[in-house]
Structure 1
Amino acid sequence: TLLGTVTLTDKTRRKGGRHTLASMALAVLPALPEACYGVFPLPNEQYWFVAVSDGMLSPFGDIVGDEAAIRIAVSNFLQITADPAAGWTVYAPSGFFPDKDTEDKALSILFDSKVGLRRARLSKTHNPQVLWLWGVAVVALGVGYASYSVWQTQQENARIAAAQAALMARQQLEQQAPADNLKPWAMQPRFPSMLSACSSVWKEAQISIAGWVFNTATCDDHGKITLHYTLPNGGTVGDFASRLPVLYGSDIQPVFNIPGSADDASFALAVSLSPPEHPEALLPGSQQIQHLTSYAQRINARLRLSEMDASTQLTQGDVKNLPWRTYNFTFITDIPPDRLFAPTRFNSSGIRASSITTTLKNNRLEYTIE
């Protein structure tokens, strides 16, 4: 089940019924090859871009815009998506991609499948009448609660006024901007720099050492990456211990889970990281959180966020609320993060990573950024 929103810009009165609209991307999917992308002309010099990878709609497709916007969308899709073995099937108006072998197919031909149209129907979930009833109930509860609270508020007004006067006097003495050493993002390496440094190490890591198979690699903000390998059938810790110095030098020593099942081998490598000379300015308001969340939604990544306390102890008995909000986050994706968060694609102001973990799952790499 897919849940989304649709903005209707025309004022045409629509007939009653549950299924009056459909997703154009889902409707044409059954008629498209497993690896293709296409640009189809629309009225008013607009175009529609749709892309299919491994038989599934790409999150970088289903975009409507003018020619410039569509060309940017196609470029982003091709940069991030791996080329299929048999190459892409490309649909476009004649001359739109002069350097590619394209097929000029009418969009109406792709809607012949009744199965595709039924699958693409949209069901309305917004009910203004129910929302209006809920609104009336909420207003009634709010009025009752406000009336009950008035007398309590009046009793505390005098005490609050005195406390506010004292607080305002103290704040007038503390209007200076907080020092850089109070900014948590000033003490850690910049996000793109850490991604690039960690990526350069784990991309050179061996997929197998003496038969032991790569499992995970965790790169932290202290400049260390720890790689783990899993014991194969017939393998021994001695095989791994003797092979590792040949690959990485005699100063790199393995660590095994002994005592225990002795089926995990790990070793640590240095990663060159350094904090920025000066912390960058933050994006205004909640813009960065919205930007990161939207990015995760666009590429179908998993994102978890939790807010931390923004106050800090400046002196004994003196706690100050700092002019920023701090969040912990976990971002999980199968797209290499050094490409995903390259400075040309994503403004990472104020974002820092404490660790980046690469895990081999079902012969594919998964990246977890925290």
Structure 2
Amino acid sequence: TLLGTVTLTDKTRRKGGRHTLASMALAVLPALPEACYGVFPLPDEQYWFVAVSDGMLSPFGDIVGDEAAIRIAVSNFLQITADPAAGWTVYAPSGFFPELDAEDKALSTLIDNKVGLRRARLSQTHNPQILWLWGIAVVALVAGYVGYSAWQTHQEDERIAAAQAALLARQQLEQQAPADNLKPWATQPRFPPMLSACSNVWKDAQISIAGWVFNTATCDAHGKITLHYTLPSGGTVGDFALRLPVLYGADIQPVFNIPGSADDASFALPVSLSLPEHPEALLPGSQQIQHLTSYAQRINARLRLSEMDVSTQLAQGDVQNLPWRTYSFTFITDIPPDRLFAPTRFNSSGIRASSITTTLKNNRLEYTIE
């Protein structure tokens, strides 16, 4: 920043007789060569250092200080700034730089330039009249805001009263309805999106890694898929451990069944899953369980079902039978489940999977949904 200033002489006085200030560095710039630096004496054993590089004022110049401070400023400028091809033009009092051919030039000769002074004038930034106008505008805005806020508060109170009345009426009608957080299908990812997300990961899995052959992949509802590979003849755990980071990155590390036979290698990958915003409505009665059973029979899949307890301990200590039936199931098929249970083929309302396992058997993939 150009902090050095000089007061303009009477011949450049503005209307009204007021003096004005100008940047001393900008004022002397037209009179200086394109590559120069200079030290000029000021009263009270002070000096002013200015530097020009490539025709522009250097940010390391325009410094006022005693002799020691100025010498440090000059040294910093010369260390940071590249030397020009023709060398530096130097201005300094006689003997200030004894090792240099410096010209002792008076500062007054550099600022005796009307064009340079007009260019270097500094403009006033403080205007009391403008501040008063701003103050009036702020007061008006605050008053308007307060009035508008009061009106909004009144409107909001009316809306709240109406909403509370509607809520009370709805609560009276729904006192017996269980909360969403009691519904077990509200706390797990929806069935088709989970099948699709897991499928996208295991479809990209390697059939073989360093000779180790794919065995199983288990994808769970917590957003993780664990893949297992079986040791081939002549293979080693070292081969697998070296190859895995090349394929999946250094963050993915294998786990071997050591101590043990050291013939199984596994590693986990993330799966992007999300919970439903609201649990969907169930199909009426036993329609869904019949639908799933019929679907398994049609495609010759193996299905095992077990009914679970549907009573729930409430906060007040009472036991309440909830208005739905809960089953655990195991569904085994050789058809890829992301296609088998696509929304266009199967209405999966109320169905959730805790895990989906893909197993390689006799060169064919088998899928187990639980």
The TM-score normalised by the length of structure 1 is 0.53
How far does the alpha carbon of each residue in 1:271-296 deviate from its partner, in whole angstroms, 9 at most, with x for none? 00011001000000000000000000
Bigger Cα displacement from structure 2, 31-40 vs 218-227: 31-40
Q: How many residues align?
A: 370
Shift of 1:159: 50
Shift of 1:338: 0.2
Shift of 1:171: 14
Shift of 1:238: 0.2
Rate the CA distance shift 1:166–1:199 in 2: closer, same or farther, 3 A: closer
SS in structure 2 at match of 1:122: coil
Shift of 1:310: 0.4
RMSD: 25.6
1:247 counterpart residue number? 247
1:152 and 2:152 matched = yes
Return the alpha-carbon distance in structure 2 between the equivalents of residues 94 and 297 of structure 1: 108
Shift of 1:176: 2.8
Return the alpha-carbon distance in structure 2 between the equivalents of residues 99 and 61 of structure 1: 21
Bigger Cα displacement from structure 2, 21-30 vs 161-170: 21-30
Rate the CA distance shift 1:167–1:328 in 2: closer, same or farther, 3 A: farther
Rate the CA distance shift 1:178–1:63 in 2: closer, same or farther, 3 A: farther
Query: Does the 8 A contact of 2:4 with 2:25 survive in 1?
Result: no
Query: Does the 8 A contact of 1:209 with 1:243 survive in 2?
Result: yes
- Higher-Rg structure is 2
Return the alpha-carbon distance in structure 1 between the equivalents of residues 37 and 162 of structure 2: 67
Query: Does the 8 A contact of 1:59 with 1:300 survive in 2?
Result: no
Rate the CA distance shift 1:101–1:340 in 2: closer, same or farther, 3 A: farther
Rate the CA distance shift 1:189–1:142 in 2: closer, same or farther, 3 A: same
Query: Does the 8 A contact of 2:280 with 2:350 survive in 1?
Result: yes
SS in structure 1 at match of 2:12: coil
Return the alpha-carbon distance in structure 2 between the equivalents of residues 3 and 228 of structure 1: 71
Bigger Cα displacement from structure 2, 160-169 vs 201-210: 160-169
Rate the CA distance shift 1:172–1:9 in 2: closer, same or farther, 3 A: farther
Return the alpha-carbon distance in structure 2 between the equivalents of residues 40 and 180 of structure 1: 82
Gaps of 5+ in 1: none
Return the alpha-carbon distance in structure 2 between the equivalents of residues 107 and 297 of structure 1: 103
Query: Does the 8 A contact of 1:207 with 1:213 survive in 2?
Result: yes
SS in structure 2 at match of 1:285: coil
1:231 counterpart residue number? 231
Return the alpha-carbon distance in structure 2 between the equivalents of residues 340 and 209 of structure 1: 29
Rate the CA distance shift 1:351–1:266 in 2: closer, same or farther, 3 A: same
Shift of 1:121: 113
Considering Cα pairs closer than 8 Å and 6+ residues apart, tell me whether 1 or 2 has the greater RCO: 1
Shift of 1:200: 0.1
Rate the CA distance shift 1:11–1:88 in 2: closer, same or farther, 3 A: closer
Shift of 1:185: 0.3
Query: Does the 8 A contact of 1:60 with 1:298 survive in 2?
Result: no
Shift of 1:318: 1.1
Query: Does the 8 A contact of 1:19 with 1:121 survive in 2?
Result: no
Query: Does the 8 A contact of 1:225 with 1:268 survive in 2?
Result: yes
Rate the CA distance shift 1:221–1:157 in 2: closer, same or farther, 3 A: closer
Return the alpha-carbon distance in structure 2 between the equivalents of residues 51 and 297 of structure 1: 91
Return the alpha-carbon distance in structure 1 between the equivalents of residues 239 and 58 of structure 2: 44
Percent of aligned positions that are identical: 91
Bigger Cα displacement from structure 2, 334-343 vs 44-53: 44-53
Return the alpha-carbon distance in structure 2 between the equivalents of residues 8 and 88 of structure 1: 29
Shift of 1:177: 1.1
Return the alpha-carbon distance in structure 1 between the equivalents of residues 357 and 184 of structure 2: 22
